Amino acid sequence: MFEVICFDCDSTLSRIEGIDELARRSGQFEAVADLTNQAMDGNIALQQVYGQRLQMIQPKQSDIDWLAQLYIEEVVEGAKETLQALSEQAQLHIISGGLRQAILPLAEFLGVAAENVHAVDIHFDAEGRYAGFAEDSPLARSGGKATICHAVKQNGQSLAMVGDGKTDLEAKQAGAVVIGFGGVAARDAVVKQADHFVDDHSLSATLKYLCGE
């Protein structure tokens, strides 16, 4: 029974990779998806591609609103039920290298408090045009998920991290048990290095590791 349970967002709570969907919408999909996959597979550091991808896409406020709705439409099977069940035993967090404004509506849909959503803020000018991102966010660089996990884990609480990417394995540095979720994307590094790996399309399959079901 874990006291704190953290979830990745993209390809874990929702079937999409948000940055790739923004890239598709802007006509930059192939170039951006290649950078995303290299970062998620651990071949290049996240900070090398984070700003580069956003600069290529130049997402507007209206694009973020569109993405927020898409996250909800593409929610992973069993996600809402899983988080509802876990909320009775644990403090739930979302830790993502995605864009916070786009993830917040999904978090509300899933019953996760806004203050427990850790992601990267994006900035816009008065006309809603892209004006940069929170470059000081630990989640915009490699090692950031370990930093956030250390922050949310208090007084020796037991911690679990559920996710699909190499960056989710960083939670081990904070003493987390990592449950790899392969229902959307099964990445080799996660299959091999996660403490447990779930190859099931429903997130509810993680419950046997998170609460013994």
Going from the first residue of the chain to its last (213 residues), give the mean pLDDT of each consecutive group of 10, the final group possibly shorter. Answer: 96 95 95 82 83 94 98 98 95 97 98 98 98 96 94 91 94 97 94 97 97 66
Which pLDDT does position 29 carry in this prediction? 94
Can you tell me the distance from the alpha carbon of 133 to that of 137, in angstroms, rounded to the nearest whole number?
Answer: 9
For the question of residue 8 being annotated catalytic, the response is yes
Q: Is the CATH number 3.40.50.1000 carried by domain 4-210?
A: yes
Cα dist from 182 to 72, 86, 118, 152, 163, whole Å: 19, 20, 22, 25, 8
Q: Which of 8, 20, 63, 168 is catalytic?
A: 8
Q: Please tell me the pTM assigned to this model.
A: 0.94
pLDDT digit string, tens, across residues 154-182: 888 999 999 999 899 999 999 999 999 99
What is the per-residue pLDDT across 129-152, written as a single tens digit (0 to 9) for each?
999 999 999 999 989 999 999 999
Annotated catalytic residue 168 = no
Among 10, 63, 164, 168, the one annotated catalytic: 10
